[in-house]
Each structure stands twice: as structure tokens, then as C-alpha cells.
Structure 1
Amino acid sequence: MSQSLFIGLMSGTSMDGVDAVLVDFDTPSPKLIATHTEAIPEHLFKGLQRLCQPGQDEVNRLGRLDRSVGSLFAKAVNNLLASSGIDKSQVVAIGSHGQTVRHMPNLEVGFTVQIGDPNTIAAETGIDVIADFRRKDIALGGQGAPLVPAFHQQIFAKADKRRVILNIGGIANITWLPGNAEAVLGFDTGPGNTLIDGWVQQVRQQAFDQDGAFAASGKTDNALLAQLLSHPYFMQPYPKSTGRELFNNAWLEQQLEKFGYLDEADIQSTLLDLTCHSIAADILKLSNSGELFVCGGGALNIELMNRLQALLPGFTMTTTSALGVDPKWVEAIAFAWLALRHHQGLPANLPAVTGAKREAVLGARFPAA
């Protein structure tokens, strides 16, 4: 059996599908062999959205969805392998992120919950699964997130190059690679696509704002933008991480109470600027110049990319394609890499990023046998 093929599974805050990648780590730079996105069925999507709203906790629903999401992840793997022509016996392990349904690292007893039962994935694919990557870091006093900066450092860092890797999923996070391995930083900046997707879903019944066209048709309201940016999270020092617990439709409705006069497109534009301004402000705290590489779904939003570039004139800005990695698949590849690190018995967290007491081997193995 090859010792270099791993599968990465990722479903992010946006819940816009399960990304599956088959990666060969036999070369210094990971080689993407095959990709697949498994759509999340409507009934499962609605169940997950309900589960993600604080106050809707229900143990039976959690248990059912844990199994159902595990089966969906297994289906993604089986379809990925069918399309790639690679036999399951060739794959060392699957690295599964799971679906986050609650992320509360700052409570007195902090915790994070990802569902998608790894036992179910292992049973339905016949491949060992490595999962539960975040909770060891939290047990060590960390945020459990973001975990991708360690992967970014390994793949994208270059001596004497000041680089920012910006992942814009439902939540946006940045990795600062100043060209000195000891000084890597990373944290969640705040909302990425979660609010802009939620608003366009609500008022236009569209899954997302294609190219940012709806936002581009509106005009940002500066008073609303200032109110949104006054959220305490943006002032918090890093290490920090966030999710739908803070930035969700209920919070947005509260914020909009005084702004009933605004056009729907103006709200969309303002929400896009919230994403761009919060990201830019955090990047500028680290440096006013360098190279900025964007990945995640936000990299495909033309209006977002244009507005962000205008706020960061000192940075040359492009996507991770320029570094040889398709921006759509970076996070899924990162979870294949996290599985590789666990398999090798190597640490995968960066204490400077998460705030954990020390480096640690992350995740647990769920054998197919």
C-alpha cells in the first residue's frame, strides 16, 4: 500500500457542500489527485442550521445528525474514489474535519463540537478515519482554531517573503507568514461569507451572491457599517476564533432594527464591506505591505476581491492558484495534511496561533477494521 495517499474532508461554516480531496504527499508540495463536492441535501441543511442556533439544543437531533453527516461524508469519499479510479486500499487514512455546530472556546470550560461520526465514515468507506482535530488544542487551553495556519506555513511560507494567506469561508481567517518560521500568526478576523450568504438567501432565495453582483448594485450605509464594526470581537486581541454563535441572522436582525429605511441591496453592500473592512483592519495591524493570497469561496467573489484590494493598496493580491494550489480546495487539503501529521505522530497546532500551552498531535484514529 502507498504510504502517501490521504483524503481530506471539509464542510465549513457556510455548509455549501462537503469537499473531498485525494492528495499525494510523496513530493515536497502536496499533489492534488482528485476532487469531489457532495451536495448537502436540503433536509440535512435545514436540520444543521437549526442545530447551529443557540437555544435549539436537542440531544436526539444531534445524535441523528451526527450519523447522517457521517454517512454524507462517507458518500463524498466513495464518489471521490469512484471518479479517481483509485482503490480504497491505496488510501492510508481520511482526515475529516466534520461539521461544526458549536464553537465556544472562551467559556470557563471552553468547548467545540463537530459532528459527522467518524465511526460511520470508517464503516461505510472501509478506510481508517482520523478526526476530532480541535479538542486536544482546547484541552491545552487553546482556541482549537484556526488549524490551517500550520499547513499554510508548511506549504506557502518562503524565507524573506512577507505573506498573508487569507481564507474566506463562512468565517474569514488569516495566516501571517513574515518569512521567519518562528513568527507565524493566525486567527479568525470575523465574518467571511456567512452574513452575505445568509442575507441573499433570505431576500432573494439565492444560495450566494454570484460575483458579488447584488452587493455591487447597492450602496454601503456608513452608519450601519460603523455599528456592525463596533462588535467587541473586532477589538479582541488574538488568539481568537469565532463562528455562527456570534455572527448569525438573529444578530443581524438586531443590528438592522434602526435601519428599516435601507434598501436590500444597500444592506448586502454594507455586509460585504463588513467582511472587507474587518479583514483589512486586521491585516494592517500586522503589516502595510506584502503578498496576499486568498483562498476559500470568497476568492471567487469579484466584488469582494476588488473592495479588499482597494483597502490594502500596499499588498499585491491574488489567489493561492499563484502558489500552485486551487483556492477552492486549500482547506480540504489541509485536513488531509492533518491526517498525515497524526499518522506520522507529529504535532499540528501552532500555540502562537491557538493559544494552546504546547504543540500536540491532533485528532484520534477510528480504524475501519
Structure 2
Amino acid sequence: MTPHPRVPLVLVSGLAAEGNDELAELLRRAGPGVAVVHHDLRQIGSGIVRRRIRLGPRDQLTALELAHGCVNCTLREDLLPLLRRLARRPEVDRIVLRLDEAMEPEPVSWAIANVLVGDRPVSDDVEIEAVFTTVDRAAWLADASGDELLLERGLLGSPEDERTVAQVALAQVEFADVLVLAGDVPDAWCAAKTAAVLDRVAPSVPRVVLKGANSGLLFAAVPPESRRGEVVDLHGALLRGQPPLHADCGIEVLTFTSQRPFHPERLHEAIDTLLGGVIRTRGRAWVASQPDIAFWLESAGGGLAIGHAGPWLASPDGPDWTDVSPERRTLASLRWHPVHGDRAQELVVVTDLVAPKEIEDALNAALLTDAELAEGEAAWRSYPDPFGEWHEDPCEATEDDAEDEERHVNAANRKEEPQ
């Protein structure tokens, strides 16, 4: 039997609700076979999601009641099966998935490629053509540098969602193939500083102004090397493209690397420097008390999340070299240590109101001293460790691969935090 061609799928994300609606409508007008899907999560705390499907002249609104009110359940119970059904309808030639403002496109892309619906993932039926993220030119900079919780904004992915607006704003931008600039520019300084931040957190992502754009212009802007839904390798490069290294509007980039571990307590203290005057921190950390696990550390504005990125290649239970990406193998080969293998610190920090030197000094002070390094791994494991307990997602998954799904969705949303 000849497999049927996959239907192109476009993801629209962003915190700008009006911009998202305008972009989704623009894409819908590209042809009568474009289906637009939107799951409104504003009432998810009550277990209700409002689903809207538009296809041609039809506009269907349905209230869904979920056993567990969360994004993961919405994906598994409704969105993924719906994408398969739409893809198999002969009149549908493209699907536009207009994500709720609280949703990040990366975990959705992972679910499309990995979560089984029946006996196959939905990626057998749809192919991610592009990820467009809207950026409200008047509000995005404040959103990306603030400490407001999604709850305070009235946006939630689940009743237990503790993410900040900044975490979502930056995750949406970093995963985009094209940034779509919506709304009016308030002043020249805001425009220049917003551009300086975007140049450093998403250096390879082109930008298109929504006003006056058309679908042809948007798709033409997608670079050939775009990820198109490809999920981030937490052990891969921390930035796609080359950000400017000079300061612009006070925005700078610091790259911190070291091949000695952090002391857990001193790292915990140093983390405070990443929460004031810092736009973004992303990277891997080697903590002496847990030497076999790579930590994933990420801050956005005033929000911080720390999670596990899995074992190092040199760990006793680490993956085989043949099971990891070529990019990870290359990076590990370049820094391989005869004793510690690929264990290393690799952090990229985008600063605003704090000098990069201040952050670098704080992180250097958190590393093991020569005397501590000489004590060896057995002694390191006995250090008091404030990173020892981890948040678990309360939702019980139903698929056979649910544990992997939950682990990846949490990592992608960076919601695992020390208690």
C-alpha cells in the first residue's frame, strides 16, 4: 500500500493574542483547504478547554471536559487525534495550529513526532512546515525581562503551572522558524533594545512585519536550514547561529565554560546572580554531588528552572555514542577529559543590567577549589545538596511511552524545579 502524502502543518505561537489571531486568519485565507485549530486554555483550571476549528465556511466551537486539566492531557486526548482526522480529510491541504498563549511549540512538536495515537505517531500524517512566533513589539521586551507569573497574566498550562511569562516568551521565540512582528513600535529605544535581545537569543531567526504581509511572504522567509519542529538536543549547541558579541543597548552575551564541577551549595548561592539584570540563561551544569547527571539550568527574566538533561556520556549508565546525535558526539570529542569525560559547564547568559564579569566571577567562585577537586568523587557525593529533590508532573500519562513523554515535555517547558 502506498503511504498517503503528509499534510503540511503550521504552528502559530506567541504571547500576543491579537497577533496570533491575525496571523492565523492570514494563513487561513491562503486557500479553502486550510484548517485552523485553536485550543483555548483560559478555563483549563476547571478542566475545560474550548476548541475552535475553522475550515472553509465552517466555524465549529466545542467545549471539552478533561479528566485532568493540563496541556499534556489536551495534547493526548484531543489535539493529536484531531490532527490525524483532519489530515485524512480530502478537502484539507494544510493545517494551521494556533497555539494558546500559554503553550510552547517545542513540547507540542515533540508530541507530534513521538506520542503514539493508536500504533503510530501523528507525524505519519502531518509534517511541520513552519513554526511562526508572533512578537508584540510594544510588550515583548517587558514580558521577556520581567518576573510576572503566567497565573498573574491569566494564562496557565495546568493548575500547577508555575512558569513565568518571561520563560514562555523566550521559549516561543527560540523555537521559531520566523518571528512575526505584530503591533506598533512604541518608541525607537524599545525597538532597538528588543532587536538587540532577539539578535542574541534567536540570532538565526528572520523577522517579518505582520502588517502588510501575506502567506507567500511568510513562507518565503523560512530559511532552508530551519528546524521546522525539530526538538532541541539538550546536549547540543546552546545557540543556533552566531549572536553579536558586542554590547548593544546594554545587552551582552557571556559564554561560561569550565571542566571542573560546581559545589552544590555555592552554585545554589550563585544562581541569584542569574535572576537580576539577566534576560536569559541556558545551559548544562556539572554538579559535584550528582556527577553522573547533567543538569539543565535555565533562567528567563525573574524566572528560574533547573532540571535533568540525562546522564553524561562518561556516566556508568550513559548512552552509547551511537545512540546520540552527531552534534553531541562532536562536542563531546572536542572537550573529552581523560578522567571526567564529557562532563563540563556550558552556559550562555544574555545580560542587561548586570556586568557579564560579575556573573562570571560568581560562577567561577562556585566551582570546586583545587583542594576540593583533589578529594575525589566519593567525597563530592557527600556534599550537602539543595538540588536533591525534584518536582514531578501530577498527571498520570496513559501511553506506553508516557514516562519519556513527561520527561521531555517537562524538560522542554523547563518546569522541573528543586523543592
TM-score (norm 1): 0.30
- Which structure is richer in relative contact order (CA contacts within 8 A, separation 6 or more)? 1
Larger Rg: 2
Structure with bigger helix share is 1
TM-score (norm 2): 0.27
